[in-house]
Amino acid sequence: MKFHAIDLPSVKYTQPYSIYRRVLLLALTLIVLTSIPLYVNKSSTTSPLPSPTTKTSTTTGLESIEEKEEEQCHIFSGNWVPYPDGPAYYTNETCKLIIPQQNCMKFGRPDSEFMKWRWKPDGCELPLFDAAEFLEIFRGKSLAFLGDSVGRNQMQSLLCLLANVTYPEDLSDQYSNDTDYFKHYVYTDYNFTMATLWAPYLVRSSDADPSGHSRNSLMNLYLDEPDEAWTSQVENFDYVIVSAGQWFFRPLVYYENGGSIGCHWCNLDNMTEIPETYGYRKAFRTVFRTLQSLENYKGVTFLRTFSPAHFENGAWNAGGSCGRTKPFSKEEMKLEGFILDMYMTQVEELKAAQNQAKQKGLDFRLMETTEAMLLRPDGHPNFYGASPHRNTTYADCVHWCLPGPIDTWNEILLHMLKTGQRST
């Protein structure tokens, strides 16, 4: 339809219908013209279509969608959901590499429901572990677990996950006289090396108890001196997962700059009481600074966050145990108290180190597992694990059964390696 300008009449007589029609057309035109901007403004707030000035190529659109999905999918926050087909990868009968301490089914655990849950991140799915893909990623590379026995627990899980494709050769005795703590495996077909670097405090330590070493004896910690057990080897590895935790709750005397500065639970006269988070913070600070200072260390460093214990009805040495048979929901159990303190201490030190590491071309990443594992009181051996170094009258509510929820850590590791995802 073509609209014409309306002129004022120049004669005395004008047809009434013609005038009425022209006025009506004018009114409709004004209504349409004033409605269009309102409709566009309203639509622009909800429309999924790009604006006229936005590039609309297929590639750009897909990249934007993928970036949005990546931002929304935080794999470290979620809940455990039933997985009736579990265990997903192996059993204590199909994997021959489970150590007695974590072989809960072999040593009589009566329930099996703890193996039938999977971690479900908020807003996305965590892919199942692909052993062949993992081995290809690590072809010609090396991976070290630096820290305590919970770090080794993750390595034992990884050994079983990879056993679906191949078994490694155990060369531990060629690298250490203490093969209970220092393990060294080689996957010959992939030229892939995996090892543990035993350093439960990360920094140098020594016995301080005159009655000798025991499970709860007094120890000296030299907070500004890294443990030579790992500094002498770490430069040989392409990937390093750093972790530590429960050992920092025992009686400790802290040293810095060659002198004692205080202690934690030491009950010594004239000694300042210092909380465990102080030593924990300084130990991680020393690790990160040392890794940055080593001339030949070019590896990717992961901080695997604090792994909670779940002792109930008493401490580990006072009748505490962990007999639950299903997970908590995140509505039932919140990250708070000393567990939150330990977690935040690690994260703060890593964040501070990341900026410095980036300037030196090093990659420091955060692997958050604390929230997920806080919800798994059912995943520990409790009394159903055997260890030559453990009094079986004590429950083990620190380590994790295999198979069990700790397998999720390696699902997360593979996902982070594939996507380059970092925690926020």
List 148, 227, 378, 396, catalytic entry: 396
Specify whether 149 is catalytic: yes
Cα separation, 95 vs 116, in Å, equals: 18
Decide if 271 contacts 253 (C-beta within 8 A): yes
Q: Could you confirm whether 227 is annotated as catalytic?
A: no
Phi, psi of 202 (to 5 degrees): 70, -30
Q: Which of 356, 369, 157 is nearest to 245 (CA)?
A: 369
289: Cβ–Cβ under 8 A, 6 or more apart, which residues?
Answer: 353
Among 149, 176, 243, 307, the one annotated catalytic: 149
Calpha distance 327→83 (Å, rounded) = 12
Task: For 97-130, give one letter per residue: b (16+ CB within 10 A) or e.
Answer: bbbebbbbbebebeeeebbebbbbbeeeebeebb
DSSP secondary structure letter of residue 185 = E
CA distances for 71 relative to 40, 162, 413, 421, angstroms? 29, 30, 18, 10
Task: Output DSSP code: residue 321.
Answer: B
157 is catalytic: no
- Residues contacting residue 399 through CB under 8 Å, at least 6 positions apart: 101, 102, 149, 150, 153, 380, 381, 385
Catalytic, out of 157, 176, 399, 407: 399
Q: Which residues are catalytic?
A: 149, 396, 399
